[in-house]
Amino acid sequence: MWRRASLYIYALAAVIYLTLPFAWVAAVSFMPEREVTQQRWWPEEPTIGNYSLYFDVEGQSADVGAAIARQFPRAIVNSLIIGTAVMLLNLTCGSLAAYALARLPFRGNLLLLLFYLGSRSVPGVAIMIPMYLLMRSYGLLDTHLSVILSHTTFTLPFTIWILKGYFQTVPLDLERAARVDGCTPLGALVRVFLPVTTPGLVAVGIFAFIASWGEFLFALLFTTTIASRPVTVLASDFAQELQVPFTVIAAGGVLVILLPLVLSFLFQRLIIQGIGGSVTG
Amino acid sequence: MARVRLKNLTKHFGDVVAVDNVTLDIADREFLTLLGPSGCGKTTLLNMIAGLESPTAGEVWFDDRNVTAVPPERRDIAMVFQTYALYPHMSVFDNVAFGLKMRGVPAEDRKRLVLAASKTMEIEHLLDRKPRALSGGQRQRVALARAIVRDPGVFLLDEPLSNLDAQLRVVMRTELKRLHGELEMTFVYVTHDQAESLILADRIVVMQDGQIQQIGTPESIYDCPANTFVAGFVGSPPINLLRGTLEQSAEGAWRVVGEGYACGVPVSMIERMKPPEGREVFLGVRAEDIGIGEATSSIEPDAAAGNFDPTGVRAKVVVREPMGSDLYLTVDVGGTNVKVRTRPENLLDRGDNVGLYFDPGKIHLFNGESGESLISES
């Protein structure tokens, strides 16, 4: 009984610890500017005025930070393009690699897996300059592709590891049954294996998307204009402009968080199944 | 309808020889079981018939067609797996219909065939459910329906009953036998359960270490095992094997003598015997072929040369195991444990000394070194 209660207390503490900063940002985004200086926890006169800057399509506003805020929709589209491409690359390359590692015995497969894992331990800063030179020499600076490629390099190893483990829980007999039922090897993969592993694929796809969405270092390094700039980098521009109201910055923060949050809630069940579950025939 | 022939089939996994030069002719509509302990190569053999494994050497023929290089989807087979392997993302109906769909059967016919197969397997009320909502026995029925719906020439079953509990296994065993009678297909059935094999099969193939040890009807496998492995593997409890020496008395009568026992060998058996290489033999006798005589006061051997009871066995009871309709006694005969089946009324208990009698007509003699049977099948 006491054990159970302490478990709940611990879980509750963790939830508060994790959500409090977000909750406060969300609360601030609905406050009039003067309420922030009064150190309020909750908006007393809630307003959506802070958000209006971000949807000021005609560009009328001359408020501080308005120039940056006006670029937000475009930056969100950039982030969406980059995140979706990273997700698709992870799913196609990742599932094929993981399938091979899970199903086909070949020389050096363990070494390859360890290499993937090892590549995760290299800090981004360490390869920042070589990466920059590489992108410059291929003429990829300030393109979506440069950010997509760099994000894929650090999300793919994780994807392969998770998917390999997940694929190994699929009974081999399922594919064999599909073969006997008349499928070609590729047909068995498409009609039986992939549908069965949907939770795992959705989970790693969303992880890859969110990782890309939240990445800052490489995105900052490779992008210079709004043509390719993702929303995380744009949001940091507020720091360079003096006296942007904190409430406006908070509204921007909420807009950045919103999409990954919605995705996580929508696919919650599949993500949990994909990471913690297994497939049984 | 198909006759299956395997010609010198061999499968290596790296250095491991899983199936070693197997040649086998399976008749059309026969119920054949591949019986052996786990790792004996029986499932690999089945997978090669299915086309799921390609042989290292040898050929597989269906009727007059060499299918060795034909992939499973283009062989006329159906298979039931130990794990059932139902597609978890499809309803029972779609599971059963999947094979038909893959073969381009029109939707109307599909529905009709699925309903017919479901009726045979009594799963009509489950068609809308997902596999995870079914019990083990129901899943097994769905797996069987999925296999029979296509009316394949060859029906392959890989330990289909081993995941079921004991009661359900008995029910499904009967069901399978009924199914074979109705369907007129060739059944190849892999199992490690000798009882299943004896009950279901027209013929049994006993395998060990990738090699066929014996092929025969259940009766011939049970009554005339080809070697000590088959004798020990088929039958429950396993056959009793005792070391002994083959001797001929002054009058010309043959007997086997070992620690604590002597047993006469009938003339008819001597006539069918291959000339033994040495005099050392294994005497095999099943629990039900041992008679229990008078309780005796000691087990001291009094069978001095020239003065012995030709069928005398002296034993001491070690364990008493009542099994309802039968009573099994484990007795010590000259240091070897021997199982004896008797009536449950028998009052013998641990520590009692007893005289036994091996039925000479039912004994088996094996070469003391190779373990091969000394008696040629008549």
The domain spanning residue A170 has which CATH number?
A: 1.10.3720.10
Average pLDDT over residues A131-156: 93
Question: How is residue B229 written in tokens?
Answer: 């492995």
Evaluate whether residue A117 is within a structural domain. yes
SS3 assignment, position B373: strand
Q: How confident is the model at residue B304 (pLDDT cuts 50, 70, 90)?
A: very low
**Does the beta-carbon distance from A171 to B83 stay under 8 Å?**
yes
Structure confidence at residue A18 (pLDDT): 92
**Structure confidence by residue, pLDDT tens digits, A3-59:** 899 999 999 999 999 999 999 899 999 988 888 877 778 888 888 888 888 887 666
Nearest partner of A253 among A46, A23, A16, A15, judged by Cα? A23
Question: How is residue B334 written in tokens?
Answer: 């000259």
Structure confidence at residue B276 (pLDDT): 64
User: pTM, whole model, 2 decimals?
Assistant: 0.78
SS3 assignment, position A179: helix
pLDDT at B297 over 50: no
Rounded distance between C-alpha atoms, residue B287 and residue B237, angstroms:
7
- Nearest CB to A181; choose among B47, B52, B99: B99
**Structure confidence by residue, pLDDT tens digits, A61-113:** 667 777 788 888 899 999 999 999 999 999 999 998 999 899 887 888 889 88
Q: Does B54 touch chain A (CB under 8 A)?
A: no
Structure confidence at residue B299 (pLDDT): 42
Distance from CA of B336 to the nearest CA of A (A): 44
**Does the beta-carbon distance from B86 to A179 stay under 8 Å?**
no
- Nearest CB to A195; choose among B85, B86, B89: B89
Rounded distance between C-alpha atoms, residue B158 and residue B151, angstroms:
18
**Structure confidence by residue, pLDDT tens digits, B25-79:** 999 999 999 999 998 999 999 999 999 999 999 999 999 999 999 999 999 899 9
Distance from CA of B83 to the nearest CA of A (A): 7
Q: Does A59 touch chain B (CB under 8 A)?
A: no
Number of independent structural domains in chain A: 1
Structure confidence at residue A148 (pLDDT): 96
| Mean pLDDT of all residues belonging to chain A | 88
Q: Does B235 touch chain A (CB under 8 A)?
A: no
Comparing B233 with A276, the larger pLDDT belongs to B233
Cα nearest neighbour of A186 on chain B: B73
Question: How is residue A221 written in tokens?
Answer: 């390094």
Which helix H or strand E contains A249, and what residues bound it? helix A246-266
Cis status of the peptide bond prior to B237, with omega within 30 of 0: yes
Cα nearest neighbour of B52 on chain A: A176
Name the residue with tokens 């498409």: A190
Distance from CA of B148 to the nearest CA of A (A): 11
Q: Does A181 touch chain B (CB under 8 A)?
A: yes
Residue B296 corresponds to which amino acid? T
Q: Does A187 touch chain B (CB under 8 A)?
A: yes
Name the residue with tokens 């009938």: B266
Structure confidence at residue A277 (pLDDT): 63
pLDDT at B298 over 60: no
Evaluate whether residue A232 is within a structural domain. yes
Structure confidence at residue A231 (pLDDT): 92
Phi/psi of residue B91, nearest 5 degrees: -70, 170
Q: Does B106 touch chain A (CB under 8 A)?
A: no
Pairing of strands B313-322, B364-367: unpaired
Q: Does B70 touch chain A (CB under 8 A)?
A: no
Q: Does B83 touch chain A (CB under 8 A)?
A: yes
Q: Which of B83, B139, B142, B151 to probe by mutation at the A interface, max A CB count within 10 Å?
A: B83
Dihedral (Cα; B141, B145, B147, B153), 10-degree rounding = 120
Phi/psi of residue A122, nearest 5 degrees: -80, 120
Which residues from chain B sit within 8 angstroms of residue A180, using beta carbons? 50, 52, 72-73, 77-79, 99
| Mean pLDDT of all residues belonging to chain B | 88
Structure confidence at residue A59 (pLDDT): 65
**Does the beta-carbon distance from A182 to B102 stay under 8 Å?**
yes
SS3 assignment, position B330: strand
Comparing A34 with B366, the larger pLDDT belongs to B366
Comparing A249 with B310, the larger pLDDT belongs to A249
Evaluate whether residue A60 is within a structural domain. no
pLDDT at B228 over 70: yes
Quote the ipTM score. Answer: 0.81
| Residue burial A229-239, b: 16+ Cβ < 10 Å; e: rest | bbbbbbbebbe
Which residues from chain A sit within 8 angstroms of residue B70, using beta carbons? none
- Nearest CB to A179; choose among B73, B84, B131: B73
Ramachandran class of A90: left when φ > 0, alpha when ψ lies in -120 to 50, beta otherwise? alpha
Evaluate whether residue A92 is within a structural domain. yes
Average pLDDT over residues B123-133: 93
Evaluate whether residue A96 is within a structural domain. yes
Cβ–Cβ < 8 Å for B249, B263: no
Which residues from chain B sit within 8 angstroms of residue A279, using beta carbons? 88
Structure confidence at residue A279 (pLDDT): 63
pLDDT at A150 over 50: yes
Q: How confident is the model at residue B22 (pLDDT cuts 50, 70, 90)?
A: very high
Count of A–B CB contacts within 8 Å? 68
Evaluate whether residue A119 is within a structural domain. yes
Rounded distance between C-alpha atoms, residue A182 and residue B73, angstroms:
4
Domain with A213 in it: 69-280
Comparing B222 with A267, the larger pLDDT belongs to B222
- Nearest CB to A180; choose among B78, B86, B88: B78
Cα nearest neighbour of A175 on chain B: B85
Comparing A83 with B265, the larger pLDDT belongs to A83
Average pLDDT over residues B109-135: 93
Evaluate whether residue A127 is within a structural domain. yes
Nearest partner of B191 among B46, B88, B291, B357, judged by Cα? B46
Which residues from chain B sit within 8 angstroms of residue A171, using beta carbons? 83, 85
Q: Does B84 touch chain A (CB under 8 A)?
A: yes
Q: Does A202 touch chain B (CB under 8 A)?
A: no
Q: Which of A172, A180, A201, A202 to probe by mutation at the B interface, max B CB count within 10 Å?
A: A180
Cβ–Cβ < 8 Å for A221, A131: yes
Evaluate whether residue A97 is within a structural domain. yes
Q: Does B131 touch chain A (CB under 8 A)?
A: yes
Structure confidence at residue B278 (pLDDT): 66
Which residues from chain B sit within 8 angstroms of residue A187, using beta carbons? 73, 102
pLDDT at B151 over 90: no
Give the percent of chain A with pLDDT over 70.
95
**Does the beta-carbon distance from A281 to B86 stay under 8 Å?**
yes
**Does the beta-carbon distance from A177 to B102 stay under 8 Å?**
no
